[in-house]
Amino acid sequence: MIGATQRIALGYLDTFSLALHQFGLLDDEEVRSSLARQIYFTGVRALPLISLFALLFGAVVVTSALTSLGADNELALKAVVWDGLRELAPLAAAMIIVARSSVAIGAELSLMRLRSGIHDSVWNNAVQEAHPVLPRVLGLALSATMLVAYFQCIAFLSAILAASFTLRTPLATELANFLGAAQWWHIPFTLIKGTVFGAGIGVISCYHGLCVNADVRDVPKAVMAACIGSLTWVCAVEIFAVLLLLA
């Protein structure tokens, strides 16, 4: 007998499989339009919030590290600030995406299922099912990749400015410290992690949104499940990424 956890995991895999096998739907103008709307709402409209949060995030990490370690411990500062920002910035960006998009998609698809007559017969139809799923999964994957990279760039810039201002050192010196701590593989690693974050959030949110039965009281349950599932996914990917770096 399959338990609830295994059933949900299989549901996630089925939803992801449907999205993967229906890329041909991108030839449909309606699907492309839905994809563009998802990228706009998830990615473009999140830029002001992401920018503000990233600026504060980078500055807070630097000032906290300076307060805890002191300005003289240069090696520890580099490890805490640059390594910490490299790992925590994508995680912080993913949390914002969960708060904004996972909840919205879960609620949107729940109401779509209730109001538009998306019944079990349609759920089993791969072509029709991919119509609501594919644009959201792909849109979140692309948007998360962009937002994670953007958040990290802004956070690093803020950290460099904050370090230069606090330590009274030239901006060029702090920039050189950053470039010295950075490695080429950090860029693709961050982009891949952002893509995995976004795709997983999209799959989980779509699954729970479309699992709503014909009862409006199931909508908040689906939204909560989408949010909790997305947060769990983000934390699991981050833990795996850290273990991969430590291996």
Give per-10-residue mean pLDDT for the chain (247 aa): 76 90 85 90 93 90 76 60 76 91 89 66 45 89 94 89 82 76 79 93 92 79 92 93 82
Let me know if residue 3 belongs to a domain. no
| Distance in angstroms (rounded) separating the CA atoms of residues 71 and 225 | 44
Let me know if residue 85 belongs to a domain. yes
| Distance in angstroms (rounded) separating the CA atoms of residues 16 and 207 | 9
| Distance in angstroms (rounded) separating the CA atoms of residues 79 and 68 | 13
Determine the pLDDT at residue 118.
54
Q: Nearest Cα to 115, choosing from 40, 183, 212, 246?
A: 212
Let me know if residue 20 belongs to a domain. no
Let me know if residue 40 belongs to a domain. no
CA atoms within 13 A on the CB side of 46: 28
| Distance in angstroms (rounded) separating the CA atoms of residues 55 and 32 | 33
| Enclosing domain of residue 75 | 45-246
Contact 211, 11 (CB under 8 A): yes
Q: How many domains does the chain have?
A: 1
Residue type, 91: L
Let me know if residue 26 belongs to a domain. no
Would you give the DSSP letter of residue 117?
T
Determine the pLDDT at residue 44.
93
Determine the pLDDT at residue 120.
53
Q: Nearest Cα to 46, choosing from 91, 103, 86, 99?
A: 99
Let me know if residue 22 belongs to a domain. no
Let me know if residue 100 belongs to a domain. yes
Let me know if residue 21 belongs to a domain. no
Determine the pLDDT at residue 88.
82
